[in-house]
A = this chain, B = another copy of it.
Amino acid sequence: MNIICNGTQLSEALTRVIKALPVKKTIPILEGVKLSAYGNTLTLTATDTELAIQKTINADVKIEGEALVPGKLFGELIKKLSSEEQIEISFADDQNVVIKYMDSVTSIKAMKLRDYPPIQEFEYDVEFAMLQKDLKDMIIKTIFSAATDDVRPVLKGCLLELDGEEARCVALDGYRLAVAKKKLEMAIPYTSAIVPAKNLSEIYKLLEEDEEAAHISVCQKKIAVDLKHTKIISNLLSGSYMKYQSSIPTNFETTITISKDMLENCLERAYVMSRFEKSNLVKLDVKEGKLTISTNSEFGDINEVIAVFTEGKEVQMLFNSKFILDCLKVIDDEYVKIKFSTPTSPSVIVPVDGEKFLYMVLPLRNFSR
């Protein structure tokens, strides 16, 4: 292998690819980044076997070939060469990858390429495109609700559902549920995939906030997200996801319309005061035209009043302030609706109009304690 490429491009590509390197020390070979030089491109690949990230950049390929280098070391070294116009990379003696720039030479001991796991192309069952920014938005609006413990492994993933012209992303952990929806350009036969939240978070970071499309292919075991020069392949979680739709209540006794920012700021203060106890207990008290938020801990008390638009009965409920805060933090709307039924049933947070998101939060316990 012998190529010449640009330092900035190589450094940027590496920064992205090494996100797929295993976080913990596992099998040594997985700590490598694979370089593949063919045609007029250099492709970089890293994988922890659950997630693979591939990035392709332009290169002047003199001799085609492949090499495997220690990923972290190579990444750090190239980062310090990111201002170089031209970097020559060659791998000729099966021992060392040689990097030349200006009058200087660096060589890195290569890793054994033949042991590296192949990134297989798969036969997809469904393929569709959506705007990168739409996919990004669906992920950020739901991922925080995925379970972090191992009680039900399937809940450590987010459910991606394609249903006609609608794409949905769903996450739930038994205490709360998040659903975000986007419209698709064309109708897709019903498809679902459970993507590990950990991998979805890496996909999120690679998506751009612009009008570019992401091409997504799904088969039973894998999902691939293709972003022009970047390809991400993630394993899917097996098992069946919860029938979440039936758990969302449809009848409510009380609905309030409230300024998102005012509620968020107020709950943040309540959280500061209550965060020393595990349940972050906060009391919401809805009376005609106002919401009173209160909390008390061994350090002090908070009592705040926010003017709201109320429909229905008065209600008092206890929540974990963090669960409501997590939702509010990712909502961009100026106002939201919160719907309550009985003090022991879940409440939901929805937009003032439409159905682009829905959050369901379980109350902490019966208020009559």
Alpha-carbon separation in the docked complex, A302 to B98 (Å): 10
Q: Are B106 and A301 in contact (CB under 8 A)?
A: yes
**Segment of A50-58, A76-84, A165-173 in the binding face:** A76-84
Q: Is A300 an interface residue (CB 8 A)?
A: yes
Alpha-carbon separation in the docked complex, A73 to B269 (Å): 10
Q: Are B300 and A269 in contact (CB under 8 A)?
A: no
Q: Is A273 an interface residue (CB 8 A)?
A: yes
Q: Are B305 and A77 in contact (CB under 8 A)?
A: no
The answer to whether residues A302 and B104 also contact, given A80-B265, A265-B80 and a CB cut-off of 8 A, is: yes
Mark A164-207 against chain B: 1 for CB-CB distance below 8 A, else 0. 00000000000000000000000000000000000000000000
Give every chain B residue within 8 A of A106 (Cβ-Cβ). 269, 273, 300-304
Alpha-carbon separation in the docked complex, A299 to B96 (Å): 10
Chain multiplicity (copies): 2
A261 to chain B: closest residue by CB = B83
Contact among B73, B104, B300 with A96 in the assembled complex (CB-CB below 8 Å): B300
Mark A101-125 against chain B: 1 for CB-CB distance below 8 A, else 0. 0111111110000000000000000
Q: Is A277 an interface residue (CB 8 A)?
A: no
Q: Are B300 and A81 in contact (CB under 8 A)?
A: no
Q: Are B109 and A303 in contact (CB under 8 A)?
A: no
Which A285-339 residues sit within 8 Å CB-CB of chain B? Answer: 298-305
Q: Taking the nearest CB of chain B, how far is it from the CB of A228, in angstroms?
A: 30
Contact among B102, B105, B109, B304 with A299 in the assembled complex (CB-CB below 8 Å): B109
Q: Are B80 and A268 in contact (CB under 8 A)?
A: yes
Q: Taking the nearest CB of chain B, how far is it from the CB of A145, in angstroms?
A: 23
Alpha-carbon separation in the docked complex, A304 to B104 (Å): 4
Q: Taking the nearest CB of chain B, how far is it from the CB of A153, in angstroms?
A: 35
Q: Taking the nearest CB of chain B, how far is it from the CB of A295, in angstroms?
A: 9
Mark A266-284 against chain B: 1 for CB-CB distance below 8 A, else 0. 1011001100000000000
Q: Taking the nearest CB of chain B, how far is it from the CB of A143, in angstroms?
A: 25
Q: Is A343 an interface residue (CB 8 A)?
A: no
Give every chain B residue within 8 A of A77 (Cβ-Cβ). 269, 272-273
